[in-house]
Structure 1
């Protein structure tokens, strides 16, 4: 296919594939809650906010989501609103597809020998473990998908709003600014759907405290990864050539 000889087409396919893989992976590993302090080997940092308290515990998916932010901004930079919308809907569809077949896999009758195959590793019931890991609650799944799509659509508009004001300067500003607004919405929407209107019925103070903590974590991670944004841009310019990269950016800005 001659279309695949175009480096811009190859680049978009690669970015879309990597974006979707990260989005799907973030959803599936997000069932694990990890202790940030323990991971860093430091003493627990107890927080107290709005009458709620706890330690710095996050879903494992938050390790990958900052990379998704970088990918979103990179696609936005070179392929515009249409490109980001396409990969966002594709990623959401793949996440839903993955959860559907995880649900089907859970309800397949397990082989008798397999259920107890990992007893020596401390897993007495493989089927129960499999169901617990891959059978995330419906409210969490719905909340995560809705928050993801809303966040992505907001990111698109904020990114191009800042771009219209700054031109091609300050790539870090439009990337960080769009993430700051989109993740403010995302961080609270997912918790609201999953844990406030969901069966757990979190009190407002807990909802606001956990949402604020998650948002601060995401923003710190996004800021820390700004150098990765510039590395990605440098790699793309080297791959496409300066003139082709400039042409794509101009076209992307024109569709804002």
Structure 2
């Protein structure tokens, strides 16, 4: 039974997708405490601008945005072949494991530090390793709550929009349902995380929340469009791996249509 399960190509794909999805989300959360200048990545001088009356804005982004767009690409792929129930399941798994990781970070920060370790990097300009460790892993609770809530809600929005578009377009216009669902869910994600983390948690003004939300969203919007060819590439590789007939049955099953893919173990 186990051998049949492990040799089943759709099952192996789902395990790979779930593993990447969870790992990518956890890494994005861990590196999210670093801010970087998008302009400087391209060798440009940061340009300050105003939006909604909020001045001094620039494309300063959290390092987490380097990875989050891949989550939405993976969401669309899983949605296409395994359906919304599978997306919700891996989203819940990701949130549970990220929450577990942050609890373990808290435990690690709380245990007494060895005296030798505290000053072990003083020569490198880090006089207190405990302070450095806490600064990296000790994100504020409002940020953690905002990020996890935004992630979960945006995943549900992505699934809903994706399937509504697919019901109208069928198997055509992959770019429309993939990009359309992503640009809507990314807007929801950008707003919720800022609202919870900084409006509720730090009493930011509405204009500041909206201004920074639109700055972050404009980056995510452009990236969502730019990553559209990746959807086609992944679908092409998946269909080569599964075979056209199996892929077609899986897509039909994902939409709740007849002739679903038959599991090799249960035949249902």
TM range (shorter): over 0.9
Q: Spell out the pairing of 1:22-101 with structure 2 (5 A cutoff).
A: 22-53=24-55, 54-101=57-104
How far 1:181 moved relative to its partner?
1.4
* d(CA) in 1 for partners of 2:90, 2:46: 38
From 100, 114, 119, the counterpart of 2:122: 119
Q: Deviations over 1:135-167 (max 9, x none)?
A: 000000001111111100111111000000000
* d(CA) in 2 for partners of 1:56, 1:141: 22
* d(CA) in 2 for partners of 1:45, 1:94: 38
How far 1:119 moved relative to its partner?
1.2
Q: Deviations over 1:15-45 (max 9, x none)?
A: 0100111011111100100111112211112
Q: Spell out the pairing of 1:1-256 with structure 2 (5 A cutoff).
A: 1=2, 2-53=4-55, 54-198=57-201, 200-254=202-256
Q: Deviations over 1:121-146 (max 9, x none)?
A: 11111110100110000000001111
* d(CA) in 2 for partners of 1:37, 1:114: 37
Task: Determine helix, strand or coil for the equivalent of 2:127.
Answer: coil
- 4+ runs of 1 displaced by more than 3 Å? none
* d(CA) in 2 for partners of 1:124, 1:40: 33
Q: Deviations over 1:197-231 (max 9, x none)?
A: 11x21011100000111111111111111111111
* d(CA) in 2 for partners of 1:11, 1:252: 15
Task: Determine helix, strand or coil for the equivalent of 1:117.
Answer: coil
* d(CA) in 1 for partners of 2:42, 2:116: 39
CA RMSD of aligned residues (A): 0.9
TM-score with structure 2 setting the length: 0.93
* d(CA) in 1 for partners of 2:193, 2:251: 32
* d(CA) in 1 for partners of 2:226, 2:48: 23
* d(CA) in 2 for partners of 1:113, 1:70: 45
How far 1:47 moved relative to its partner?
2.2
* d(CA) in 1 for partners of 2:192, 2:134: 26
* d(CA) in 2 for partners of 1:4, 1:86: 20
Task: Determine helix, strand or coil for the equivalent of 2:50.
Answer: strand
Task: Determine helix, strand or coil for the equivalent of 1:254.
Answer: coil
User: Structure 1 stretches of 5 or more lacking a match?
Assistant: none
How far 1:9 moved relative to its partner?
0.3
How far 1:245 moved relative to its partner?
0.8
* d(CA) in 1 for partners of 2:58, 2:242: 46
* d(CA) in 2 for partners of 1:45, 1:95: 35
Task: Determine helix, strand or coil for the equivalent of 1:58.
Answer: strand
* d(CA) in 1 for partners of 2:38, 2:122: 29
* d(CA) in 1 for partners of 2:124, 2:48: 32
How far 1:108 moved relative to its partner?
1.0
